Every structure is written in structure tokens, then in C-alpha cells.
Amino acid sequence: MLPLFLIVFIDLMGFGIIIPLLPFYAEHFHADPFTVGLVMATYSLTQLIAAPVWGRMSDRIGRRPVLLITLAGTAASYIWLGFVDSLAALFAARAIGGAMAGNISAAFAYMADITTREDRAKGMGLIGAAFGLGFIVGPAIGGLLAGADPATADYSLPAFAAAGLSLVALVLAVAILKESLSEEIRARIAARPPEQRFQRMVQAFKTPKLGFLIMVSFLATFVFAGMEATFAMWSERTYAWGPQQNGFLFAGVGIVSAAIQGGLIGRLANRFGEAKLIIQGSVALAIGMVLIPFSENLWILALAMAVLAYGFSTLSPSLNSLISLQVDDENQGAIMGVTRSATTFARIVGPAWAGLLFAQLGKDWPYFVGGGMMLLVAALSIFALLKKPSNES
């Protein structure tokens, strides 16, 4: 588990360096709030197209080759990002980066390969902790390298730093990461004709709860991605913040996420079960979103972001664990790829929708709407995940 954790952490640290800076980067090229949302969504659009391909490829040739290819491609996309000189070039660089983002779905499938069903939530939480730690160190580094003033920020240096981290992750993957998918399973997958593999995946979707769980993953990511895309603009208009302040705040979110997903999620899952954690996380995410517009001072804002981080950090590994437990070993890569596609699609429409609300209705509306959506998700989850079938009553 630890080699995979280290590689994902370093890779996500590079990703974390870029995320808080992108809204300012787009505004540097005179983008309006809706266009900022589209810049954030472009990465996810190409990731949506590529993720199922990477997932199926990882089932056939193994997780390790896919991780190596995509890590190299990610490093190249960051180098390009450091040289962009127009809004169109910024869109293009993010598109390439998204197409190479298959390493995440491959990492989740890798973790599913090496954990037992009993330890699945703990393993998924470890990947989530790598995300959280990446978002502790990454945004702080990005903010420091870019500077506090959006008017004079250096956007190239953080991009080159992110490229360097991706190259470090690539070297580590080459050196220490072993293949997790057995030759026996790969041979069985390769022996099936394409139409049979498709039928097996369709059959997996008929498993009770799987479709609902993927829908919840989509909605939770939709709301969280909308917050990520608009928060820098919200904080600039509310507190006159720049990249540095936003980087430090997102680092704080990463601390909460890492503490939950790295240390608490296994114990929470053992005590409450994944279904109850999904409901609990949905409510917390709703509360955190609604609190943001009422953050008249930094203490309230810190509370809002901590509650929000707790909610999303509880939801993500619990959803991934339950989804993984619904399917057999031979469909892990494909289903994780489909799940990743759903959440990636959420990262396309979420930022675009949040940017539109921000531009048309005002800076607080992405958070009001997002909070309402997550309360609806919590209510639906109570009936879908906790209600016993009629033959058990």
C-alpha cells in the first residue's frame, strides 16, 4: 500500500499546486467567471473521454504500465502550462493534462487489487489521504511560488514545479511499483471478446445500489468542484485575497482531508458502515457549502471549510469502497473507470454551472444551490441505502 500512497501523494501534490491558481491564471487572460469555470471543466472533459480507455487498458495490460504512461504525460502537460501565453493555450494545456489523468482511476483499481474486501474502505481511505496530503503541501507551495497579488503573480514557476513532482512520481513508480493485477486475471479478461466484456460490465451495473452509488459520486463531486472553481473569485471579491491566501486555505482543507481519510475513515467505517458515512458526509458537505456565504470573518470561514472538507473526505472513500464491493475482481478496473468518468463529468458541468450562477445571480449562489443539492442526496441515501427490502420487514 505504501508505495502506491507515496506515488499518488507526490502526483497529487503537483496537481494541488495548480488548482488554487487556475482561476487567477484564467482571469490574467481576461476570462470572465463563466469562462473560468470552462477552463476548470476542460481538464475534466478530456479526462472523461480518456478514463474508460485507461481503465480497460489497465485491466488488459496491467495497472503499472498505465500509471507510468499517464505520469509521463502529466509531467509534459505541466511543462506546456508553464509556457502558455494566451487563454486558448491555457485551454489546450489543461486538455492534454486531463487526457493523461488516467493515473487516478488506475490507482483506485490498483488499491482494489491489493486489499481484501474487509480492508477495502481502509485502502480507499489511504488513497484519499494521499489526495489530502497532496492538497496540504501543493496549494501552499503554489501560493508561495505565485505570490499574494493576482496582478503580479508568477504562474509559470508553479507549473514547472508541478512538472518536476510528476517526474519524481514517475521515477518512483518505475523503481518501486510492482504490478498488482495477476496474469491469470489479465488472461481471462483478454480471452473474452469485446462484446462479452461489455456485457459483463453492463451486468455489473444491474447489481443493487451500484447505479445509485455512482450517481451520488457524481453529485458530490459536482458540488465540490463548483466550490473549487469559484472560491478563489469569491475570496478575492470578499476578502481581496490572491493566490497565496487561497493556497494556504486549500492547504488547511487538505489537512482535514488527510486526517480523516488517512487515520479515521477505517475506524469510522467499522463503527458506522459505509452507508451511514455517505449520509453523514452529504449532510456535512451541505452545511459547509451553505456556511460559506455567511462567513463574515475568517473564523466562520475556517469552520465552513473544515465541515465541508470533513463531508467530502467522508463521502469519497465510502462511496469508492461500496462501489468496489458491488463487482467481481475482473470488473474492478472497468467499474472504477466508469465511476471516475462519472465524477469527471461532474467536474465538467460542476465548474461551468457554478461559474454561470456566480456570473448571473451573484457570488454566493453556487454555495446555496450546492448545499441544497447535498441535502437532497442525504435524503435519497437514507431510503436507498438504509431502507430494508420489503421481504425483510
Residues in the chain predicted with pLDDT less than 70, given as ranges, are 1-3, 102-103, 121, 132, 181-208, 262-263, 328-334, 337, 387-393
Q: What pLDDT is attached to residue 388?
A: 59
pLDDT at 64: 84
> What pLDDT, on the 0 to 100 scale, is given for residue 365?
95
Neighbours of 352 (CB within 10 A): 24
Q: Which three cell numbers stand for residue 16?
A: 494541488
- Is pTM, for the whole model, over 0.75? no
Task: Work out the number of other CB atoms within 10 angstroms of the CB of residue 14.
Answer: 28
- Write the pLDDT tens digit of every residue in 148-195: 777 788 889 999 998 988 888 888 888 887 877 666 666 666 556 555
> Between vectors from CA 248 to CA 347 and to CA 1, what angle results, nearest 5°?
65
Q: Residue with C-alpha cell 510528476?
A: 166
**Predicted local distance difference test score (pLDDT) of residue 316:** 84
| Nearest-angstrom CA–CA distance, 43 and 93 | 9
pLDDT of residue 390: 44
Dihedral sign for Cα atoms in the order 341, 132, 72, 74:
positive
Amino acid at 200: R
Per-residue model confidence (pLDDT) at position 393: 39
| pLDDT value, residue 285 | 95
pLDDT at 121: 66
Give, in degrees to the nearest 5, the angle at Cα 149 between 147 and 152. 85
Question: Would you say 283 and 378 are in contact if contact means Cβ atoms under 8 Å apart?
Answer: yes
Domain locations in the chain as residue ranges: 2-392
**Domain boundaries 2-392, corresponding CATH code:** 1.20.1250.20
What is the C-alpha separation between 362 and 357, in angstroms, rounded? Answer: 7
